[in-house]
Structure 1
Amino acid sequence: MAGAVQWIAESVQEILQISGPTLQTFLVLCATFFLAYVIFKRSRNLPPYPAGRVPVLGHLLALGRAPHLKLTAWRRQYGDVFTVRMGMEDVVVLNGYTAVKDALVDRSELFASMAPNYLLDVMTDCGKDILLARWVTGFRQRKRFAATTLRNLGMKVGRGSIEKKIREEADCLRNRVAENNGQPFDVAHDVTVTVANVICSMAFGKRYDYEDETFRELSKAIVTLASELGTGQIISVFPLLRFVPVVNRAGINALEGFYKVRNVISEEISRHREHLDRENPRDFLDFCLLELEQQEKVDGLTEESVMYMTGDLFVAGTDPTTNTLLWSLLYMTLNPDIQDKVQEELDAVVGEGLPTLFHRSQLPYVNACLLEVMRIRTLLPWVPHATTQEVTVQGYDIPKATRAAT
């Protein structure tokens, strides 16, 4: 051991051409700084690390094939706040109502940023959208502008709501199902079109036919993007893997799906620009194009940002809602007794028509079934956030720009 230390010292001396006494001083300073770093790092009141952490990989092996179950087990052992090492980066995991409400409701702005993520940053040019943006002035303005615009377009309860459009699309879906005369068929595409048409009505001011080839490609791209993005997250943990064949396939597929969605949106932006009615904006793109010209509410808004923001509407609005409905249909099929009770309540309250938001308070069993589906089949088990400054949660100090998941 002593020989190794001597060899290192001699090598450093030779490379840096440092004299003996000066080299000793240099090594003492290095050792002092190292010890100070270790001592002060350990003295910080950070959330605990579960057992099973290894160099480079962190807890990836310990999480296994069912990470949600492992996280649940660690919660019982380490409490509601602990740290998981994902590759070379720490992720603070928040569990339980109290910790999550404290972070995401009571002090939401302190957890409102997004940490770097290779795949997502490529897709949004490092956060020029809404969902994945860093907590900066431009993001807050884009978020406020988008929320206000969507409310103006009917994303609200009450007068002027988009509820009428949703019921029209639901009626189209019901007719599509009836056309099969009780024969088995795959309902996934029809449900996707129904949900996406609601998004299209706000974003593009139009709807697609169920057999429209452009929309078939768009919906397929959205499904590919959502499914492959989760599988390809290993590339975000270790970005160099994007150069490794086979391993990078999921990431490549996700990017291809994203580019297809982007191309459709870019074509719609061009079409809207040609037919823009500045006195009567009809949809989300119209409002965005007006803001591009006026630059009154969002500093530095660009056409590229508009494309990314509209992409958020499609991916975040279509895929989760579609999958929730498909899981609901599957569980109704697997549990005919529950299906019968749901139908009985709908018949008693709604009758032969379609339900409205007015009926919601009168349909407790239907609401309970939907909530149970969302509990069993969580569509996004990790809700990613990052701290905007150092913050204390349940007695633990979480540094600025630390990933936080709930």
Structure 2
Amino acid sequence: MAGAVQWIAESVQEILQISGLNLQTLLVLCVTFLLACIVFKRSRNLPPYPAGRVPVIGHLLALNRAPLLKLAAWRRQYGDVFTVRLGMTDAVVLNGYTAVKDALVDRSELFACRAPPYLLDAMVGFGQDILFARWGPGFRQRKRFATAVLRKLGMKVGRGSIEDNIREEANCLRNRIAENNGQPFDIARDVTVGVANIICSMVFGKRYDYEDETFRELSESLPVLSFAFGTGRIIRAFPLLRFVPVVNRPAVNAWEAHSKVVSVIREEISRHRERLDRENPRDFLDYCLLEQQAKLSSLTEENVLHMAGDLFLAGTETTTNTLQWSLLYMTLNPDIQNKVQEELDAVVGESLPTLSHRSQLPYVNACLLEVMRIRALIPAVRHVTTQEVKVQGYHISMGTWVLANLHSLHTDPAYWPDPDRFDPERFLDAEGNVINNPKSFMPFGGGRRACLGEQLARMELFLFFSTLLQSFTFTTPEGAPPPNTDGVCGLTLVPHPFQLCATPR
């Protein structure tokens, strides 16, 4: 340590001698340079900063514990558009339906770049995937390709749909839960396996047994990645801290978990290449390999790897956590759960629910919509401006981080009276029909970067939720406190670990 300090001192002294500067002059120049960077980096008319900004780290401390509550408080004080300082980076926060819709939908292309967390950016090959790719021709081509392939593989209603696979997996999950015999258990892992098997069947052409060792590693990697990205804000702001022990623990954990996922996908790609049948592609990887062989294809090996990773991560994490939230809210609202079961009994009876029942089950659908409203899985979506743009009188320069606060849409009292109350009837009109597209409701984002798997997610949520509620009554274990509804901000908003009892009906 002493040797390192001496080396640094000697190096500084040598630099001073070569440049003809003294230490005082060097310090003045450094401070002047930093101040200039800060001053000139700020846009001509950037939205106001909330109070609580600390030198160097900005608003990171203020946002650390309860970011959603803090953003809501700042919105009340500063309006729908303000600026937060994340380390040395400014991020403009858009709140409310008007501002968010303007950016994500009405002028989508001007906000179409992504601002990925540092950890994710490194892991997805600096934009070679879809989810976090930079805006441009490569992203558009990959998204069109992936969407078309997923539709061929069943992401649609009607002939050729993946509905039967989802129903079969929902039935497997039902049987798995029944093994607990009404005793308290944590449902997270079983739900993760059930949901992940749907996307695995589409991407890899296979499903995994609940006890499969490879799949156990894959499923256990998901919460590690989500938690690491949520707790790694300081590393996102200051990437060099990834080399500092203890502080870099989220980065280390995330990298290890991601490496496991990548290893499995690479093995699957190798197997698919050996068994590829050009006339009968079976799954997403087969279609990717065929596309790579096309003369004009720009799809690379790394593109295929990271696109498959996107589908696995996003296709599992979002639907899994939405289902967990739905069961959590059923345990907290037994009267609502009873209404769901009465509707299922009247319409479906003893057979397994199908998508054809969906139009006849308005209350079931309303419950799922209310879950997505009250607990937006991705509360704030990160974007980057593709050119200079004016937002509510403020000039936002090209390349500026923009946080579209979806949580503010879903909890805005102007659209959702008493927004913290779980009330499915918000999504029913006077005749009892479902209101599918109300204002101030964007659970899957919007515009050019909207979720490409929205239709698949809605199919899965309906079939899994209706099958489980048809089969069980979910309650909080006797003597246990009610589950916490705050959630943990990771890659998505994840419920705190909770146990429930599933009593067969």
TM-score by length of 2: 0.70
**Residue of structure 1 in register with 2:155 after alignment:** 155
Residue 16 of structure 1: CA displacement?
A: 6.4
The reply on whether 1:375 has 2:373 as its aligned counterpart is yes
What is the aligned residue count?
A: 378
Tell me the alpha carbon deviations over residues 131-158 of structure 1, each in whole angstroms, 9 at most, x when there is no partner.
1111122111111111111111111233
Distance 1:266 1:90 in 2: 37
Distance 2:250 2:353 in 1: 40
**Residue of structure 2 in register with 1:79 after alignment:** 79
The secondary structure found in structure 1 opposite 2:357 is helix
Distance 1:359 1:295 in 2: 45
In structure 2, give the amino acid aligned to 1:49.
Y
Distance 2:100 2:326 in 1: 26
Asked if the contact 1:58/1:85 (under 8 Å) is kept, the reply is yes
The secondary structure found in structure 1 opposite 2:85 is strand
Structure 1 residues 295 and 106 mapped into 2: Cα distance closer, same or farther (>3 Å)? farther
**Residue of structure 1 in register with 2:322 after alignment:** 324
The secondary structure found in structure 1 opposite 2:113 is coil
Max radius of gyration: which structure? 1
**Residue of structure 2 in register with 1:146 after alignment:** 146
Asked if the contact 1:225/1:254 (under 8 Å) is kept, the reply is yes
Distance 2:343 2:222 in 1: 34
Distance 1:78 1:185 in 2: 44
- Structure-to-structure mapping, 1:46-85, within 5 angstroms: 46-85=46-85
Distance 2:402 2:167 in 1: 38
**Residue of structure 2 in register with 1:190 after alignment:** 190
Residue 82 of structure 1: CA displacement?
A: 1.2
**Residue of structure 2 in register with 1:208 after alignment:** 208
- Structure-to-structure mapping, 1:279-298, within 5 angstroms: 279-296=279-296, 298=297
Asked if the contact 1:226/1:315 (under 8 Å) is kept, the reply is no
Distance 2:124 2:208 in 1: 26
Structure 1 residues 188 and 63 mapped into 2: Cα distance closer, same or farther (>3 Å)? closer
More moved, 270-279 vs 60-69: 60-69
Distance 1:345 1:397 in 2: 51
The reply on whether 1:312 has 2:338 as its aligned counterpart is no
Residue 41 of structure 1: CA displacement?
A: 7.8
- Structure-to-structure mapping, 1:3-402, within 5 angstroms: 44-115=44-115, 117-296=117-296, 298-299=297-298, 301-402=299-400
Asked if the contact 2:43/2:395 (under 8 Å) is kept, the reply is no
Distance 1:159 1:399 in 2: 48
> 4+ residue stretches of structure 1 with deviation over 4 A?
14-17, 40-43
Asked if the contact 2:112/2:386 (under 8 Å) is kept, the reply is yes
More moved, 303-312 vs 173-182: 173-182
Tell me the alpha carbon deviations over residues 73-100 of structure 1, each in whole angstroms, 9 at most, x when there is no partner.
1112222111111110011111111111
Distance 1:41 1:320 in 2: 36
Residue 180 of structure 1: CA displacement?
A: 3.0
Identity of aligned residues (%): 74
**Residue of structure 1 in register with 2:437 after alignment:** none
In structure 2, give the amino acid aligned to 1:382.
A
In structure 2, give the amino acid aligned to 1:57.
I
The secondary structure found in structure 2 opposite 1:264 is helix
Distance 2:43 2:399 in 1: 20
Structure 1 residues 88 and 345 mapped into 2: Cα distance closer, same or farther (>3 Å)? same
**Residue of structure 2 in register with 1:7 after alignment:** none
Distance 1:125 1:41 in 2: 27
Segments of structure 2 that go 5 or more residues without pairing to the other structure are 1-15, 22-31, 405-505
Asked if the contact 1:119/1:233 (under 8 Å) is kept, the reply is no
Tell me the alpha carbon deviations over residues 158-196 of structure 1, each in whole angstroms, 9 at most, x when there is no partner.
322212211111111112222333333332222111101
The equivalent position to 1:404 in structure 2, one of 402, 405, 418, is 402
In structure 2, give the amino acid aligned to 1:371.
L
Residue 107 of structure 1: CA displacement?
A: 1.7
In structure 1, give the amino acid aligned to 2:53.
R
Residue 281 of structure 1: CA displacement?
A: 0.8
In structure 2, give the amino acid aligned to 1:290.
L
Distance 1:358 1:237 in 2: 48
In structure 1, give the amino acid aligned to 2:132.
L
Structure 1 residues 295 and 263 mapped into 2: Cα distance closer, same or farther (>3 Å)? farther
In structure 1, give the amino acid aligned to 2:306.
Y
In structure 1, give the amino acid aligned to 2:94.
L
Structure 1 residues 62 and 152 mapped into 2: Cα distance closer, same or farther (>3 Å)? same
Structure 1 residues 52 and 160 mapped into 2: Cα distance closer, same or farther (>3 Å)? same
The secondary structure found in structure 2 opposite 1:383 is strand
Residue 264 of structure 1: CA displacement?
A: 0.5
Structure 1 residues 269 and 52 mapped into 2: Cα distance closer, same or farther (>3 Å)? same
In structure 2, give the amino acid aligned to 1:79.
G
Distance 1:43 1:400 in 2: 10
Residue 263 of structure 1: CA displacement?
A: 0.5
Asked if the contact 2:47/2:92 (under 8 Å) is kept, the reply is yes
Tell me the alpha carbon deviations over residues 198-237 of structure 1, each in whole angstroms, 9 at most, x when there is no partner.
0011101111111111111111112211222211232111
